[in-house]
Structure formats: structure tokens, C-alpha cells
């Protein structure tokens, strides 16, 4: 697999090192010549230039890349690189690094981002996963925010203890993808019996998370429902969306304005 990484800082270099160890072809693009030839990145190809410039991306032969990773410390750069990779070079898969959580909403398919990696949010989720037992914890959002990877640690007094996976009426849009038991991963089957301390991992639509939480932990689901504010009686009804959506515009966390025209589906 050929991977082009924009940004050879600590994040980009770490990604490149892992990919090289797995036998993938890696090209790093960075403006700083001093990044070239790092001892721990032997086998990587290098291109010195501005990844936001079309000429640089053409020199990188982006049309031949399987994946483009935007891993710079600047969210604006990461968005531009992802958009150019998709719109100008037709790259199949783009991954964008989110530095400021306030900019997370922009990292979607309208800007050419297939997968957004929000490091601060991921670290928060991992901390919650380490301390939360008996509640559902979202680890990652997948496919531009439609689905998510979630985790549930089974408490000792859970009503699920002793039941098989196949005997539980899971939500239609939630699938058990792995069980972690005694630090060993288990491929789930309908005959697997749930034990206290099991970590259950699910791929689910975000819309189905509340339903899944109700199955896993009815008490936690009731508490969350009670804490949620009631809808205002003056709330206006939803209106139809125009066939041609307006341009998407917004402000980055650093105050810079960005605009991207939304595209209507082709006839």
C-alpha cells in the first residue's frame, strides 16, 4: 500500500514508522529540509515542499496513493490537503488529524476527510474507558460521524452475567466485534458467555447508542434520560431542506474563516 503523509513532525513520523514496519510504501511531505533522513525512518521517501500547493502534490504523484494522511499541527492545512487529495487526485482514502476539538465538525466528507482522528478527544475517551465500569464509552467516531466504536466493561453485578451473546436482543444497528477478557482478545460468537470484567466492543450507529446503553445498563440509561433537558414547548417544527444545500462556512478555532461549497448529488 502506498501512503502519502503530509507533515513529518512527531505524529507524522510515528505513523510513518509503524507503516514502514508493516511493509508499506511511505512518502513524507514537509517544508522543513531538516526532517529528511531521520535515522528511525529508513526506507521512507521524502519530498520537501508545501503540501497545500498543487505542484507539490503533483510531484508526490498523489493519484497513485492508496491513502493520504494529513498529520500537520495546523487544522487548516490538514483540511486543504484532504480536500485536494479527494477533489483533484481522486484518492480513495483520506485521514485527517484534528488538533483543536473545536474544529472537529469541519472534518467530514464535505472537506474530503474520510476518517478524522481527534487526538484530544481520543485520549479523553481512553481515560474514561480506563475508569468507567458499567457505562458505554465511545472510543472513536467512524465514517464521518455516522458510526462509532464503543466499549462497555461488564460490572460484577450486571444482569448480563452468565448470559450468552446470542440470547441478548441487541439493537439492529449494533454489532459485538470483540471481547477482551484477562487481557486476551476473543472473537465473539453467539455461544460466548458474558463474565464480570469482560470488555465488550461494539460497532454501532451513533443514533443507536442510547438503545444499546439501555440493553447493557438500564440504570445508567435511566439516569441519562433523567438528566437530559426536556425539549422546549416553543421549539419550531423541522423544515424541509432545500434540494440544493447552501455553502458550508464556519470559523476555525484560531479565528480564521473557511468556506466550502456543498455539492448536490449528481443526477
CATH number of 2-117: 3.40.50.720
Q: Find cell 443526477 and name the residue.
A: 267
Q: Which residues of the chain form beta strands (DSSP E)?
A: 2-6, 25-30, 45-48, 67-70, 93-98, 115-118, 136-142, 147-153, 174-181, 184-186, 199-205, 248-251, 257-260
- Rounded distance between C-alpha atoms, residue 150 and residue 176, angstroms: 10
| Topology (CATH level 3) of domain 132-227 | Alpha-Beta Plaits (3.30.70)
Domain ranges across the chain: 2-117, 132-227
Q: What are phi and psi of 131, to 5 degrees?
A: -115, -20
Predicted pLDDT of residue 183: 82
Q: Where are the alpha helices (DSSP H) in 60-168?
A: 75-87, 119-131
Predicted pLDDT of residue 42: 84
Quote the radius of gyration of the chain (alpha carbons, Å): 22
pTM for this predicted structure:
0.56
pLDDT tens for the chain, 267 residues long, are: 999 999 998 889 888 988 998 889 999 999 988 888 665 788 899 999 999 999 999 999 999 999 999 999 999 999 999 999 999 999 999 999 999 888 988 998 899 998 888 766 665 555 555 555 677 888 877 765 688 889 999 998 999 999 999 999 999 999 999 999 998 899 999 999 999 999 999 999 988 999 999 999 876 556 555 555 554 444 443 433 344 444 444 556 555 555 554 444 443
Predicted pLDDT of residue 145: 66
Predicted pLDDT of residue 176: 95
Please tell me if the domain spanning 2-117 has the same topology as the one spanning 132-227: no
Predicted pLDDT of residue 190: 94
Amino acid at each position: 500500500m502506498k501512503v502519502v503523509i503530509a507533515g513529518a513532525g512527531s505524529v507524522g513520523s510515528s505513523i510513518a514508522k509503524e507503516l514502514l514496519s508493516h511493509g508499506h510504501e511511505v512518502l513524507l511531505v514537509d517544508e522543513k529540509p531538516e526532517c529528511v533522513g531521520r535515522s528511525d525512518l529508513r526506507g521512507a521517501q521524502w519530498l520537501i515542499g508545501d503540501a497545500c500547493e498543487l505542484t507539490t502534490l503533483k510531484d508526490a504523484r498523489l493519484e497513485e496513493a492508496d491513502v493520504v494522511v494529513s498529520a500537520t499541527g495546523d487544522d487548516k492545512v490538514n483540511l486543504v490537503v484532504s480536500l485536494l487529495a479527494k477533489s483533484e487526485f481522486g484518492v480513495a482514502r483520506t485521514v485527517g488529524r484534528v488538533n483543536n476539538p473545536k474544529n472537529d465538525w469541519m472534518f467530514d466528507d464535505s472537506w474530503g476527510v474520510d476518517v478524522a482522528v481527534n487526538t484530544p478527544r481520543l485520549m479523553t475517551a481512553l481515560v474514561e474507558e480506563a475508569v468507567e465500569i458499567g457505562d458505554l464509552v465511545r472510543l472513536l467516531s467512524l465514517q464521518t460521524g455516522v458510526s462509532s466504536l464503543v466499549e462497555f466493561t461488564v460490572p460484577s453485578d450486571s444482569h448480563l452475567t452468565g448470559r450468552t451473546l446470542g440470547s441478548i436482543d441487541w439493537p439492529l444497528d449494533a454489532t459485538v466485534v470483540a471481547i477482551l477478557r484477562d487481557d486476551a482478545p476473543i472473537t465473539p460468537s453467539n455461544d460466548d458467555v458474558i463474565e464480570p470484567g469482560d470488555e465488550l466492543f461494539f460497532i454501532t450507529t451513533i443514533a443507536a447508542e442510547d438503545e444499546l446503553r439501555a440493553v447493557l445498563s438500564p440504570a445508567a440509561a435511566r439516569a441519562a434520560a433523567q438528566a437530559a433537558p426536556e425539549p422546549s414547548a416553543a421549539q419550531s417544527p423541522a423544515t424541509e431542506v432545500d434540494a440544493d444545500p447552501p455553502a458550508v462556512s464556519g470559523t476555525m478555532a484560531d479565528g480564521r474563516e473557511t468556506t466550502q461549497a456543498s455539492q448536490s448529488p449528481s443526477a
